[in-house]
Amino acid sequence: MQFQHLRHRSIYACICVSDFKENLEAVSKAISECSFLAIDGEFTGLNTSSHNIHAFDTPEERYQKLRQGAMEFLLVQFGICTFHFDEEQGKYITRAFSFYVFPRPHNRQAPDIRFLCQSSSIDFMVAQNFDFNKVFKDGIPYLLPSDEQKLRESLQQKHQIMEKSDVSSPGFSPSSHQKNQPKIPAEHREFIEDVCKKVEEFEKSDLDVMSLAPCNGYARLLIYRNVKARFPARIQMETNTDNKKVQYIVVSKTKSPEDAKRKLEEKKAEDYEQLDDAVGFSKVIRMISQSGKLVVGHNMLLDVLHTLHQFISPLPEDYEEFKSMTKCCLPRLLDTKLMATRPPLKDQLQYFSLGELHKTLQSKPFVVPNIVFPEDVPSYDNSGEQLHQAGYDAYITGLCFITMANYLGSVQKPPQDAVTPDSPLLQGYVNRLYLMRINDIPYIDLSRPDPLPSREHVFHVRFPSEWKASDLNHLFSPFGNIQIVWLDETSAFVGLYKKEQAHTVLRALTKGDNYHVISYNDYRKRITELTPTNQRKRKSPVSDVDLPAKRPRSQKQETKRDITTIPEEAEDEEVNGEEAKEGNEIDMTEEDAVTQDHSEDLGGWVEMW
């Protein structure tokens, strides 16, 4: 989540692969001691161009769309801020961490991840001094438990073979013992002779280890085979890779069978340690999951999806399965944006992006909580890197949560002070994830069926591709202002602001000679009928079927404003729902606008000039 307008002394530890191990203990301690923790993620992109969210998504459609993004884009920084409430002092003791994470393939067997980037997101992150070299070079690796299991098994097999062939070099499995020495392609004889001479000298010397000159994979195989055949069991070879990824063979002596066995054991231990390092950041997520602590985020649906998909298990295609998986892996979630956008807090607030929210919460009627940063947490001051660090945004999120929780207490009769995470006052928000830009469905409910609003005032319209917003506005003019959601060049959802007009629409319109109107609910039914059951559960979610790619940019001035979201606002920018609507109304009457979404629309509009 990107985050504006604030400066603050550095209060978080920025952790990458080099100092991950030494900090893991401190992180574990912070998580196990805290009263709750806040999280925030930074991603390489937000939405795939073919999966645009809109105001008439159902929660399941929204999940399917965001799932696509979460599967394709990469979470590259994970922020954690733990808050421990000290009853005596009435203070929160706080620890914040920013982790750079990157799926570095630690060896040949490791998964070679492909991930998507969105240039507007990258451009914005770089403008905030996000350090991509650091992510790519020093990012902490991670593994899904399933991949870890596979790698563990493959190690076991490898070790079995090594024990059988009782040497730690390839090309020397028992079978190959019986074979005579492999013939060397003519043009390589000289090269191999050279190497063998070197090895012979090395053998006679007092040296224990010798590195050969770097060479390619084919040359390495020839060396393995021929050198091994000439010096059976007396020497060992393995391939090393330097920090420039240049590969070369290291030759070492085998003094005795015991020595060989010892080397084998060392090799095994080394392999398992390497695997343990590869599990890396996944350990932290497992700690959070196992702690069962309340996990707070701001507009956190994307953060949750990425966290599950990247560190715990690929996101299921089935929506209900996703709900139960989330409940099982992150049993207590709370979204500060949901808190802020519901009464009673909603009535005290105007803007709901993390930055704006934090600003508002610093003045009356809100009270800034008492926070202490202990010194025992690694932390350096680097104001350049400070802003837009996930650990810092997580800290602000936790701060907003405490402030809003305390406000809820203050408006009780009698007032309560210091509302803690387990307070009944918060139960209404727990395990409900805020849904952006859907006015009539505020959240995904992980514990219950989602809210199911009437959409009788919404209609699906087919029309000629020449049609513009003005044509739709004109068609619906008898019924007042409308909200338009383009599905493609020839279809759209149209919502009435005057819901009471809903019943009259179909009588008046239904089918003209060049357009066709049906109710939202009928449209839904047809789509569901049209979609094979297996497909409904599989790769192409319903949303793909009924919500084609974003309307292609056309040269019509009106549709110009159908543009991508303003980066800094993309994840999180929203204004109070009522205003948003009013904004749309002003907008459409004055500008005859195509409005898919309030902030997008304004962003595009204002940007035009």
**7 counts as binding a second copy under rule CB under 8 A:** no
Residue closer to a second copy by CB (options 29, 106) is 106
Shortest approach of a second copy to residue 607 CB, angstroms? 4
Cα-Cα-Cα-Cα torsion 163, 164, 170, 176, nearest 10 degrees, comes to: 160
* Binding track over 239-268 against a second copy, x by CB under 8 A: x---xxxxx---------------------
Among 8, 32, 113, 453, binds a second copy (CB under 8 A): 113
How far apart are alpha carbons 180 and 178 in whole angstroms? Answer: 7
Shortest approach of a second copy to residue 76 CB, angstroms? 11
What are phi and psi for residue 157, nearest 5 degrees?
-60, -45
Number of residues that bind a second copy (CB under 8 A): 105
Shortest approach of a second copy to residue 606 CB, angstroms? 5
Residue closer to a second copy by CB (options 85, 115) is 115
Considering only residues 116-145, where is the footprint of a second copy by CB under 8 A? Answer: 116-120, 122-128, 131-133, 136-137
Residue closer to a second copy by CB (options 323, 598) is 598
Helix (H, G, I), strand (E, B) or coil at 96: strand
Which residue, among 109, 129, 100, 110, has the nearest Cα to 18 in the 3D structure?
100
Confirm if 134 and 117 have CB atoms less than 8 A apart.
Answer: no
Shortest approach of a second copy to residue 556 CB, angstroms? 8
Q: Any residues with CB less than 8 A from the CB of 37 and at least 6 apart, and which?
A: 30, 31, 80, 81, 82, 83, 288, 293, 294, 295, 296, 394, 398
How far apart are alpha carbons 248 and 195 in whole angstroms? Answer: 12
Which residue, among 404, 406, 328, 353, has the nearest Cα to 571 in the 3D structure?
353
Considering only residues 543-602, where is the footprint of a second copy by CB under 8 A? Answer: 553, 555, 557, 560, 563-564, 566-569, 573, 575-576, 578-580, 582-583, 586-587, 590-592, 598-599, 602
Residue closer to a second copy by CB (options 313, 554) is 554
**539 counts as binding a second copy under rule CB under 8 A:** no
Q: HSE, CB side, 13 Å, CA atoms: give it for residue 26.
A: 21
**464 counts as binding a second copy under rule CB under 8 A:** no
Residue closer to a second copy by CB (options 132, 373) is 132
Residue recorded with tokens 């929780």: 405
Shortest approach of a second copy to residue 413 CB, angstroms? 26
Considering only residues 365-424, where is the footprint of a second copy by CB under 8 A? Answer: none
**603 counts as binding a second copy under rule CB under 8 A:** yes
**171 counts as binding a second copy under rule CB under 8 A:** yes
Which residue, among 168, 161, 222, has the nearest Cα to 194 in the 3D structure?
222
Which residue, among 553, 581, 556, has the nearest Cα to 439 in the 3D structure?
581
Shortest approach of a second copy to residue 394 CB, angstroms? 20
Shortest approach of a second copy to residue 529 CB, angstroms? 26
User: Cis peptide leading into 414, omega within 30 of 0?
Assistant: yes
Shortest approach of a second copy to residue 469 CB, angstroms? 14
**534 counts as binding a second copy under rule CB under 8 A:** no
**180 counts as binding a second copy under rule CB under 8 A:** no
Angle (CA) 10 15 17, round 5°: 160
Stretch that binds a second copy, among 258-266, 280-288, 296-304, 349-357 (CB under 8 A): 349-357
**176 counts as binding a second copy under rule CB under 8 A:** yes
Shortest approach of a second copy to residue 460 CB, angstroms? 27
Q: What is the DSSP letter of 206?
A: S
Residue recorded with tokens 């050969």: 212
Confirm if 518 and 500 have CB atoms less than 8 A apart.
Answer: no
How far apart are alpha carbons 385 and 89 in whole angstroms? Answer: 32
Burial classification of residue 203, based on how many CB atoms lie within 10 Å of its CB (0-12 exposed, 13-18 middle, 19 or more buried): middle
Shortest approach of a second copy to residue 423 CB, angstroms? 29
How far apart are alpha carbons 232 and 202 in whole angstroms? Answer: 15
Confirm if 451 and 441 have CB atoms less than 8 A apart.
Answer: yes
Considering only residues 44-83, where is the footprint of a second copy by CB under 8 A? Answer: 44-45, 48-49, 74
Shortest approach of a second copy to residue 73 CB, angstroms? 9
Among 185, 232, 374, 512, binds a second copy (CB under 8 A): 185
Q: What is the DSSP letter of 452?
A: -
Residue closer to a second copy by CB (options 74, 227) is 74
Considering only residues 225-244, where is the footprint of a second copy by CB under 8 A? Answer: 225, 238-239, 243-244
Considering only residues 79-108, where is the footprint of a second copy by CB under 8 A? Answer: 102-105, 107-108
Residue closer to a second copy by CB (options 146, 205) is 146
How far apart are alpha carbons 117 and 183 in whole angstroms? Answer: 49
Stretch that binds a second copy, among 19-27, 153-161, 337-345, 479-487 (CB under 8 A): 153-161
Residue closer to a second copy by CB (options 503, 538) is 538
Please measure the distance between the N-terminal and C-terminal CA atoms of the chain and give it in whole angstroms.
27
Among 180, 206, 216, 448, binds a second copy (CB under 8 A): 216
Which residues sit opposite 249 in a β-bridge? Answer: 239
Residue recorded with tokens 């404003």: 561
The amino acid occupying position 167 is V
Residue closer to a second copy by CB (options 143, 426) is 143
The amino acid occupying position 546 is D
